[in-house]
C-alpha cells in the first residue's frame, strides 16, 4: 500500500522584519532558563560535537603557533617571564587565533545549527556538526569579516571588540537559515542586535561568566559552557528572526521530518533541516 504524506508549513518565532524593527521579545531570564533546559536535555548528544569543534580549533591554533614561533612553549615561557614577550610574538598569537577562527567557521556554523535545532524542538546528532560544510564559503567569509572588525575594534578599545562580536553573532545562522549573503547577514545581525542591546549584553554577560568559570576550573566547565553557548544562540535567533519549518507527516508510519528549501525565500517560506 502506498504511503500517504501531508505537508504543513510552520513558522516559529519572529521574522527578519520584526527583528529589524525591534518588535520582538527578548527576556534575558527566559532565554537563559530555556538554554539551560535545552543543554540538559541534549547534553550527551551535543557534547561530542562541541568538544570536536573546540579540539579542532585548539589543534589549528597549536599548529599555527608552531609554524610561527617554532614551538607553542615559547609563548608560555614568555607569559611566565622566562622569555621576552616581543611584538612579533604578539602578532603571531593574533594571526594564529585569527586563522583558527576562520578555518573552523563551517564547523561553528554546524554547531550553531544544532543549537537552533534544539530551540525549535528537534533533536540533533554529533554528525550534524558537518551540516555547516554546505555553507562553508559564505560562513568563512562572514567569520573572516567579523574577526577583522573585532581586531580593529580591539585596537581602538579592547572592550569594543566584545560589542562587535555580539553585534555580529547572528550572522552565521542568517546565512545558513535565511540564505543571506555575508554582507547582508552582518548588516541584519548588527541592526537587530542593537534594537535589544541591553538584553543581549545581559545574556552574553552570563555566558561570559560561565566561560570565566571554565578557565578557573582548568577548562573542565567547558563541557557545559560550550553546548550552552550554542543553545543560547539558537533561542535568541528563534526569538529574533524566527525559523520556517516544513513538517511532513506520514500517515502510515506517523513520522515527522524537517527538510530544507532548495531556494532562498522570505521568513514565512524558509524551511529548516534539523
Which pLDDT belongs to residue 1? 40
Identify the residue with better confidence: 5 or 204: 204
pLDDT at 258 over 80: no
The Cα 126–Cα 265 span in angstroms is: 28
> What confidence category does residue 252 fall into, taking pLDDT thresholds of 50, 70 and 90?
low
Which pLDDT belongs to residue 220? 82
pLDDT, tens digit (0-9, with 9 covering 90-100), for 83-139: 887 888 888 889 999 999 999 999 999 999 999 999 999 999 999 999 999 999 999
User: What is the distance, to the nearest Å, from the Cα of residue 7 to the centroid of all Cα atoms in its chain?
Assistant: 30
What 3-state class would DSSP assign to 258? strand
**CA of 45: how far to CAs of 41, 112, 183, in Å?**
9, 14, 33
Q: What's the order of all strands across the beta sheet hosting 5-12?
A: 5-12, 243-250, 256-258
User: What is the distance, to the nearest Å, from the Cα of residue 83 to the centroid of all Cα atoms in its chain?
Assistant: 36
Beta carbons within 8 Å of 1's beta carbon, 6+ residues apart: 252
The Cα 197–Cα 188 span in angstroms is: 14
Confidence (pTM): 0.85
pLDDT, tens digit (0-9, with 9 covering 90-100), for 181-236: 999 999 999 999 999 999 999 999 999 999 888 888 777 888 999 999 999 999 99
Which pLDDT belongs to residue 270? 40
- Average pLDDT in the chain: 86
pLDDT, tens digit (0-9, with 9 covering 90-100), for 8-43: 667 788 899 999 999 999 999 999 999 999 999 999
Amino acid at each position: 500500500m502506498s504511503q500517504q504524506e501531508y505537508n504543513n508549513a510552520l513558522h516559529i518565532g519572529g521574522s527578519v522584519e520584526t527583528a529589524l524593527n525591534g518588535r520582538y521579545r527578548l527576556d534575558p531570564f527566559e532565554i537563559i532558563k530555556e538554554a539551560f533546559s535545552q543543554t540538559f536535555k541534549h547534553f550527551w548528544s551535543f557534547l561530542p560535537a562541541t568538544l570536536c569543534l573546540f579540539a579542532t580549533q585548539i589543534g589549528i591554533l597549536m599548529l599555527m603557533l608552531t609554524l610561527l614561533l617554532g614551538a607553542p612553549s615559547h609563548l608560555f615561557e614568555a607569559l611566565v617571564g622566562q622569555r621576552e614577550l616581543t611584538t612579533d610574538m604578539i602578532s603571531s598569537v593574533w594571526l594564529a587565533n585569527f586563522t583558527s577562527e576562520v578555518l573552523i567557521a563551517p564547523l561553528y556554523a554546524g554547531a550553531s545549527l544544532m543549537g537552533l535545532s534544539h530551540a525549535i524542538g528537534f533533536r540533533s546528532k554529533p554528525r550534524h556538526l558537518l551540516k555547516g560544510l554546505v555553507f562553508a564559503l559564505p560562513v568563512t567569509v562572514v567569520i573572516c569579516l567579523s574577526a577583522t572588525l573585532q581586531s580593529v575594534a580591539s585596537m581602538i578599545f579592547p572592550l569594543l571588540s566584545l560589542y562587535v562580536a555580539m553585534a555580529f553573532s547572528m550572522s552565521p545562522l542568517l546565512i545558513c537559515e535565511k540564505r543571506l549573503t555575508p554582507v547582508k547577514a552582518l548588516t541584519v545581525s548588527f541592526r537587530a542586535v542593537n534594537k535589544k542591546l541591553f538584553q543581549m549584553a545581559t545574556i552574553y554577560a552570563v555566558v561570559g561568566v560561565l566561560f570565566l568559570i571554565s578557565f578557573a576550573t582548568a577548562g573542565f566547565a567547558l563541557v557545559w559552557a560550550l553546548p550552552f553557548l550554542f543553545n543560547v544562540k539558537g533561542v535568541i535567533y528563534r526569538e529574533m528572526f524566527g525559523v520556517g519549518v516544513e513538517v511532513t507527516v506520514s500517515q502510515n508510519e506517523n513520522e515527522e521530518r524537517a527538510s530544507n528549501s532548495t531556494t532562498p525565500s522570505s521568513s514565512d517560506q524558509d524551511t529548516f533541516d534539523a
